Amino acid sequence: MDAAKPAPNLEKEIHPGCLSCGNHIKHPLCPECIAVGYKQWMQKFSDSHERVNEKLNQFLEGHKEFNGKSTACVSCGKNQTYLCPYCFTRFLHKITKEAGAGVRLLSEFLFIFNFDFEHKGYSRELDVFGGY
């Protein structure tokens, strides 16, 4: 998922929808707040931590222009919820897998950061791993 350039009408308005899927954000938890927890969790996996943090920081930096123009986060209160938690954790799941995470690490990720409430996306991997 690369950084998006806002359309001219998004540069001044607060937009309530997810920039990735376009849906209304039902669980307004911003990528910055989710990233804090994710980075803390990833610290215990020192071999993958550096590579994943670099990709995550690039992503967040590439989307800074949407901060202040999005839905307010229920955790920090800042208007920087430009992606729904599902789309952002789908990105985190992807970079975790790309870092060479094994079954144990991916299962733990899916247990802690699973916003796939409808079980139509990345959480289906839990079935392959044998569930929770």
Domain tally for the chain?
1
125: Cα within 13 Å, side-chain hemisphere? 19
In a domain, 20, yes or no: no
**Average of pLDDT values for 75-83?**
93
Domain of 53, in residue numbers: 26-101
Residue 112 inside a domain? The answer is no
Q: What predicted TM-score, i.e. pTM, was given to this entire model?
A: 0.83
Q: Tell me, yes or no, whether 72 lies in a domain.
A: yes
pLDDT at residue 59 greater than cutoff 60: yes
Determine the Cα–Cα distance for residues 33 and 30; give it in Å rounded to an integer: 6
Query: Is 85 a domain residue?
Result: yes
Q: Examine residue 14 and state whether it is found in any structural domain, yes or no.
A: no
Q: At which residue do the structure tokens 């215990």 appear?
A: 44
Identify the pLDDT of residue 89.
96
Residue 120's CB: how many other CB atoms inside 10 A? 9
Task: With respect to residue 97, please indicate whether it lies within any of the assigned structural domains.
Answer: yes
pLDDT cut 70: percent of the chain above it: 86
The arithmetic mean of pLDDT across residues 92-102, rounded, is 89
pLDDT value of position 101: 80
Residue 7 has pLDDT above 70, yes or no: no
Q: Does residue 55 belong to any structural domain of this protein?
A: yes
